[in-house]
Amino acid sequence: MLRVRCSQRACGFVNVIPADPNLAPWEARGAVNLLVVDDREGAVLLAPPVRRTRPHRLLITLGSLLVVLGILANPAVRRAIVVQCAVHEIATTNAAGTAERWCQWLQEIGPPARSAAPIVWDLHHRTFAGGFALKESFINSVLDAIDPSYLSSRRPKLTRDSSITELIAALKFPDVEIRKTAADLLGEPGAGARDAVGALTDVAERPQDNARTQAIEALGRIGPDAAPAVPALIRLLNASGTIREAAARALLEIAPQDPRVLTAIDSPGIPAPVTQPGGR
């Protein structure tokens, strides 16, 4: 005797067709997957299932795909996705080149990428693999492109009434214009900037800092109180152009009678107008 059972457990039908061994199991109930068990021979025949996609499921899938494509076609959505990717990659990468490329993307997007301003600002304090860091001017140009107000809000407001402590802190600010302003204010007569000599000297010795000249000139205007900077200024006489000339002027204002200074400024290559005490 043959028993016919639907292989779908939820069905539960048994003996749903006559026990006819000549009847193909997939013909019994519209190609439903059936198991035919032959009690006499112990054979089990499995009819191959016919996969059918319900029309409404297909429509839902296609509709969902169209919605996703429509969303991605929206420029604002695409920009938002790029900004989120940029923030993640900049925050996690250890390669300066990768961070720079994502910053360039943000720069091209402009103001719609303003939410990325904090992570871009933090690049001022990041050193990547191999000791590489992004240029201060590049980072600030990106900030200017995506959110100028953010960059402005980070800049300290320096005036003649600013304390020496505020001005010294500003000498480390990641904006060359702020450092120049701070150095100029520290070098003003009566500023009492003796405590700033070390910080000004640090700026003066940074090879890539465009505020070096202002720092050197400030040391000169501080005068004898800037004596601790003399060895560094003598080393700067080996520099070129305006740095060397500014260092020579500062030395003559700080310690015009110091034998070290007199010997150093008599060296070949020091501009003649500044080799005399008080010369400008």
Poorest-pLDDT segment among 1-10, 143-152, 200-209: 1-10
110-136 average pLDDT score? 93
User: 173 and 244 share a domain?
Assistant: yes
CB 7 within 8 A of CB 14: no
Q: Which residues pair with 46 in a beta bridge?
A: 35
Query: Domain range spanning residue 14?
Result: 2-46
DSSP letter, residue 173: S
Q: Is the pLDDT of residue 53 over 80?
A: no
What is the pLDDT at residue 234? 92
Reduce the DSSP state of residue 23 to 3 states and report it: coil
Reduce the DSSP state of residue 191 to 3 states and report it: coil
Would residue 60 count as lying in a domain?
Answer: no
Of residues 272 and 237, more confidently modeled: 237
Q: Is the pLDDT of residue 171 over 80?
A: yes
Would you say the C-alpha torsion 150, 182, 138, 121 has a positive or negative sign? negative
CB 253 within 8 A of CB 221: yes
136-146 average pLDDT score? 94
What is the pLDDT at residue 33? 47
C-alpha pair distances (Å), 69 with each of 56, 76, 84, 208: 20, 14, 19, 48
Average per-residue pLDDT for the chain: 79
User: 33 and 111 share a domain?
Assistant: no
Would residue 193 count as lying in a domain?
Answer: yes
Would residue 250 count as lying in a domain?
Answer: yes
Q: Is the pLDDT of residue 238 over 80?
A: yes
Query: DSSP H helical segments within 110-265, as ranges?
Result: 117-121, 136-146, 148-154, 164-170, 176-186, 197-204, 212-222, 230-235, 241-254, 259-265
Of residues 57 and 7, more confidently modeled: 57
End residue of a domain, out of 127, 154, 181 = 154
Q: Which of 177, 89, 91, 101 is nearest to 142 (CA)?
A: 101
CB 236 within 8 A of CB 204: yes
Poorest-pLDDT segment among 182-186, 188-192, 217-221, 257-261: 188-192
- For 193-203, how does the pLDDT look when each residue is reduced to its tens digit (9 = 90+)? 889 999 999 99
Q: Is the pLDDT of residue 118 over 50?
A: yes
Q: Is the pLDDT of residue 158 over 70?
A: yes
- Per the structure, the count of domains in the chain is 3
Q: Please tell me the total number of residues recorded for the chain in this structure.
A: 280
Would residue 56 count as lying in a domain?
Answer: no
What is the pLDDT at residue 67? 64
Q: Is the pLDDT of residue 57 over 90?
A: no
Q: Is the pLDDT of residue 30 over 50?
A: no
Range among 166-175, 191-200, 263-272 with highest mean pLDDT value: 166-175
User: 122 and 185 share a domain?
Assistant: no
